[in-house]
Amino acid sequence: MAVIEAIDLCKSYGGGRVRALKGVSFSIERGEVIGLLGPNGAGKTTLMKLLTGYLQPDDGTARIAGHDIVDHCREAQSRIGYLPENAPLYHEMAVQEYLQLMAGLRQIPLAEQRDKLSEAIYATGLEGYLTRRIGTLSKGYKQRVGIAQAILHQPDVLILDEPTTGLDPTQIVEIRDLIRRLSERSTVLLSTHILSEVELSCERALVIIGGELRADAPIDELHQGT
């Protein structure tokens, strides 16, 4: 069963003058790690916002774990962990304080919060930074905090928008290794405009150019077609 399905997704801005997505369709099976590849402005972020319910499509639909993202948005969103390109962090808060806030906002029962917080903290390597204010952390550790909030509720689907942008080479390797570990539990959709990032992190790529899906293939087949 596909855990992510997109069916003829279309989205325009400016009263229809700018067509950001043009009939995009694909499906992703449980446990896959998929790269969403394309140049800046190709429509990748718009697609992710449609899949997560932050925007509604002009036409078409999407389903997350069988839940329609428009008709059953709350149920679909409960299955998703999302890290937008600019992570929604409160820089004046300590790491632990912020994650506790996010656990409450995600309506994780109090009886389960301690265990789920611990799992997310150890999965992202934040155990030595819990009392640090987020604003004092490096870019790489801010990304770890963003990923930790996305996995608190142990989602079926993890959607990451440009998670390595602005990181130094060491931080990129660390985040890449973290994504690989997280894929053992969640289906991962990873957006990037860097081909090498998809090659090293993903098993299959969706290529978006000009709002259209130009390729959907395993990484080795994608190379053969270039």
Tens-digit pLDDT string for the chain (226 aa): 789 999 999 999 988 788 999 999 999 999 899 999 999 889 999 999 999 999 999 999 999 999 999 999 999 999 999 998 877 799 999 999 999 999 999 899 999 999 999 999 999 999 999 999 999 999 889 999 999 999 999 999 999 998 888 788 888 888 888 888 888 888 999 998 888 888 888 989 999 999 999 999 998 877 665 5
Give CB contacts under 8 A, 24+ apart, made by 114-118: 116/152, 116/153, 116/154, 117/152
Separation CA 2–CA 212 (nearest Å): 21
pLDDT at 225: 54
Does residue 69 come out as left (phi exceeding 0), alpha (psi in the -120 to 50 range) or beta? alpha
Angle made by CA atoms 85, 90, 92, in degrees to the nearest 5 = 140
pLDDT at 224: 62
Neighbour tally for 170: CB within 10 Å: 9
Do 162 and 87 touch, CB atoms closer than 8 A? no
Nearest to 223 by CA among 193, 197, 195: 195
pLDDT at 223: 62
pTM above threshold 0.75: yes
Structure tokens at 14: 């400016």
Separation CA 21–CA 206 (nearest Å): 14
